[in-house]
């Protein structure tokens, strides 16, 4: 087993990995930027190393600095978490070249699945169903012909990267040229690669993904599905497991397709195969594979009882995965809500500021993964995810009610959040009945506005603000000469 692991990430996922390391008796090294100097993940680690300025390219995206930090700290391995360099084949290869272990799949597997165009071709060869579409298009004429062959609406999207960037839905030929130009520009800025592909856009489809897990000895299983159809800007905000749509037969088919997809690239460690599911025709298509740990991995952990991060580390250390497919079953129902610092009433624009209140819910079946605390600064430099709120219950109806209660008890002041919006989603009949497609949010909540806060909420927010006014000011009794005055001794904290 490793003695020390460097976590090349920040926020809640860095702390999640550090907890797993602590439970396994492994020391941890945090890396951080100037903007994260006082962040929770820095304080939680056994040691921490400054990478550079707040800009990601100077810190969390700087491969050379991260590997240098790992070697300087005498770490044995690097865990990339998700985002940043987690799906960068060059980083995985560079880590291994530096005599460090990359806690994830091989560089070859990442490379094979990191290109959407190439991975689709690979999946077709492996017999995995793919969305009708075309890859390798070079000019507008080819895109126009492909769109007419597929039939509108179509989806133009980046061949590299993910996270909803470089994607445009095109409903008619008159929109195609502009969509291609915008998608290319966004893809180039985000991934340094302007290549696009085009696919049939399934307007009422569901987004269902399958967790896969394998070791370096040829063992590979799936850990069932996660329903991820509640999205904004092609990014997930609510996930659940099991999916309310899948029959046992469909679950088995999708699970096997995911395993086949992973085997096609000799995959090991944690990964997720994403599918688009058409509930009308009851058919599914390969979308992409995320060659890393997912944001929503906790709901899989809760319904299967397995700690995915523990096993990521143990597999990377060379252990065999001692389970077979028959060992796994889904128990109960789990839901995850992503708590973002953003304004749903203004197009989900990010919100920044100091967390004047940050009270997390607790109770049976409630889990909160967060990288923030009271007084933390929410900056514009990184993703505005404040926390992941996860609940588990014996059935879906109870899980929904438990989530509604937990959201009600989650108090955040200082930034605008999506908590009220999440409550509004959970209260709809569509969600309760599992009739939520990937476009549901934009069609159902296009004119949504934040409800008028209750009086006690306004009072709490005002009081929280008062606490932080004059943060560096002296207490009112600062002129007191008594050296034993407790107010003088504790300063602003007590005040």
Residue 148 tokens, joined: 């007419």
Q: Indicate if 183 and 249 belong to the same structural domain.
A: no
- In the annotation, is 68 catalytic? no
Residue at 126 is within a domain: no
> 394-449, pLDDT tens digit by residue?
999 999 999 999 999 999 999 999 999 999 999 999 999 999 999 899 888 876 76
Instruction: Please report the pLDDT score of residue 70 as a whole number.
Output: 98
Residue at 418 is within a domain: yes
Averaged pLDDT score across all residues of the chain: 91
Instruction: Please report the pLDDT score of residue 461 as a whole number.
Output: 64
Q: What is the mean pLDDT of residues 260-275?
A: 97
Q: Indicate if 380 and 484 belong to the same structural domain.
A: no
Instruction: Please report the pLDDT score of residue 479 as a whole number.
Output: 39
191 pLDDT higher than 90: no
Catalytic residue among 16, 195, 232, 292: 292
CATH of the domain at 313: 3.30.470.20
Confidence at 246, pLDDT banded by 50, 70, 90: very high
Closest CA to 286 of 134, 54, 120: 120
Boundary-marking domain end, from 178, 200, 222: 200
Q: Indicate if 346 and 468 belong to the same structural domain.
A: no
Q: What is the mean pLDDT of residues 155-167?
A: 82
Residue 290 tokens, joined: 């995320």
475 pLDDT higher than 80: no
Q: What is the mean pLDDT of residues 476-495?
A: 40
Residue at 191 is within a domain: yes
Closest CA to 300 of 357, 241, 345, 229: 241
Instruction: Please report the pLDDT score of residue 472 as a whole number.
Output: 43
Boundary-marking domain end, from 200, 215, 237: 200
Q: Indicate if 439 and 477 belong to the same structural domain.
A: no
Instruction: Please report the pLDDT score of residue 454 as a whole number.
Output: 65
Quick one: what percent of the chain has pLDDT higher than 90?
81
Residue at 114 is within a domain: no
Closest CA to 158 of 112, 120, 195, 200: 195
Instruction: Please report the pLDDT score of residue 456 as a whole number.
Output: 67
Residue at 116 is within a domain: no
Q: Indicate if 178 and 219 belong to the same structural domain.
A: no
Instruction: Please report the pLDDT score of residue 490 as a whole number.
Output: 42
Tell me if 93 sits within 8 A of 20, measured CB to CB: no
Q: Indicate if 359 and 414 belong to the same structural domain.
A: yes
Q: Which of 186-200, 212-226, 419-433, 458-472 has the lowest mean pLDDT?
A: 458-472
Residue 139 tokens, joined: 């000019």
Domain count, the chain: 4
Domain with 486, as residue range(s), is 455-494
Instruction: Please report the pLDDT score of residue 481 as a whole number.
Output: 45
Q: What is the mean pLDDT of residues 40-44?
A: 97
The whole model's pTM is what? Answer: 0.87
Confidence at 486, pLDDT banded by 50, 70, 90: very low
> 214-237, pLDDT tens digit by residue?
999 999 999 999 999 999 988 999
Instruction: Please report the pLDDT score of residue 466 as a whole number.
Output: 63
Residue at 339 is within a domain: yes
Residue at 450 is within a domain: no
453 pLDDT higher than 70: no
> 345-392, pLDDT tens digit by residue?
999 999 999 999 999 999 999 999 999 999 999 999 999 999 999 999
Burial (CB count within 10 angstroms: exposed 0-12, middle 13-18, buried 19+), residue 422: buried
Burial (CB count within 10 angstroms: exposed 0-12, middle 13-18, buried 19+), residue 4: middle
Comparing 485 with 260, the larger pLDDT belongs to 260
Beta 206-214 vs 357-359: how paired, if at all? unpaired
88 pLDDT higher than 70: yes
CATH of the domain at 35: 3.40.50.20
Q: Indicate if 87 and 172 belong to the same structural domain.
A: no
> 290-334, pLDDT tens digit by residue?
999 999 999 999 999 999 999 999 999 999 999 999 999 999 999
469 pLDDT higher than 90: no
> 92-138, pLDDT tens digit by residue?
999 999 999 999 999 999 999 988 888 989 999 999 999 999 988 99
Instruction: Please report the pLDDT score of residue 202 as a whole number.
Output: 87
Residue at 356 is within a domain: yes
Q: Indicate if 56 and 165 belong to the same structural domain.
A: no
Q: Indicate if 315 and 297 belong to the same structural domain.
A: yes
Q: Indicate if 84 and 171 belong to the same structural domain.
A: no
Instruction: Please report the pLDDT score of residue 470 as a whole number.
Output: 52
C-alpha span between 343 and 320 (Å, rounded) = 45
Long-range contacts of 43-50 (CB under 8 A, 24+ apart): 44/14, 44/15, 44/18, 45/7, 45/14, 45/18, 46/4, 47/73, 49/73
CA 51 to chain centre: 23
Instruction: Please report the pLDDT score of residue 442 as a whole number.
Output: 87
Q: Indicate if 337 and 483 belong to the same structural domain.
A: no
Instruction: Please report the pLDDT score of residue 204 as a whole number.
Output: 84
Q: Indicate if 349 and 412 belong to the same structural domain.
A: yes
Comparing 493 with 217, the larger pLDDT belongs to 217
Quick one: what percent of the chain has pLDDT higher than 70?
90
C-alpha span between 33 and 55 (Å, rounded) = 8
């Amino acid at each position: 087993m490793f003695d020390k692991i460097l976590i090349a990430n920040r926020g809640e996922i860095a702390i999640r990995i550090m907890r797993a390391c602590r439970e396994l008796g492994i020391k941890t090294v945090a890396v951080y930027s100037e903007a994260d100097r006082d962040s929770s993940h820095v304080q939680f680690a056994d040691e921490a190393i400054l990478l550079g300025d707040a800009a990601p390219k100077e810190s969390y995206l700087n491969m050379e600095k991260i590997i240098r930090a790992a070697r300087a700290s005498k770490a044995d391995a690097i865990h990339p978490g998700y985002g940043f360099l987690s799906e960068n084949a060059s980083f995985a290869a560079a880590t291994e070249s530096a005599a460090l272990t990359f806690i994830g799949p091989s560089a070859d597997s990442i490379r094979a699945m990191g290109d959407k165009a190439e991975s689709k071709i690979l999946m077709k060869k492996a017999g995995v169903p793919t969305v009708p579409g075309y890859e390798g298009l070079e000019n507008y004429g080819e895109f126009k012909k492909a769109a007419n062959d597929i039939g509108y609406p179509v989806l133009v999207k980046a061949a590299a990267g993910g996270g909803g960037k470089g994607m445009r839905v095109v409903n008619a030929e008159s929109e195609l040229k502009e969509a291609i130009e915008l998608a290319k520009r966004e893809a180039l800025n985000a991934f340094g690669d302007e290549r696009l592909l085009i696919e049939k856009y399934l307007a009422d489809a569901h987004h269902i993904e399958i967790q896969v897990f394998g070791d370096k000895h040829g063992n590979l299983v799936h850990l069932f599905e996660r329903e991820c159809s509640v999205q904004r800007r092609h990014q997930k905000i609510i996930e659940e497991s099991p999916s309310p749509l899948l029959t046992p037969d469909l679950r088995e088919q999708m699970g096997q397709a995911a395993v086949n997809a992973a085997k096609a690239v000799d995959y090991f460690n944690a990964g997720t195969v994403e599918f688009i599911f058409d509930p009308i025709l009851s058919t599914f298509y390969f979308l992409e594979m995320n060659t890393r740990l997912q944001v929503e991995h906790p709901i899989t952990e809760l319904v299967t009882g397995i700690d995915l991060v523990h096993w990521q580390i143990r597999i990377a250390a060379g252990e065999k995965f001692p389970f077979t497919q028959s060992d796994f079953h889904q128990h109960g129902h789990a839901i995850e809500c992503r708590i973002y610092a953003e304004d749903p009433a203004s197009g989900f624009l990010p919100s920044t500021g100091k967390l004047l209140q940050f009270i997390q819910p607790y109770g049976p079946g409630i889990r909160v993964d967060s990288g923030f605390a009271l007084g933390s600064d929410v900056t514009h430099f990184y993703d505005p995810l404040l926390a992941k709120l996860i609940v588990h219950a014996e059935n879906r109806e109870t899980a929904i009610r438990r989530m509604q209660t937990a959201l009600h008890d989650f108090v955040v002041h200082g930034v605008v959040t999506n908590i009220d919006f999440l409550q509004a989603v959970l209260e709809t009949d569509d969600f309760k009945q599992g009739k939520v497609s990937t476009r549901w949010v934009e069609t159902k909540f296009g004119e949504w506005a934040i409800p008028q806060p209750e009086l006690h909420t306004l009072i709490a927010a005002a009081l929280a603000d008062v606490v932080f006014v004059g943060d560096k000011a002296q207490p009112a009794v600062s002129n007191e000469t008594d050296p034993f005055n407790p107010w003088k001794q504790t300063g602003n904290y007590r005040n």
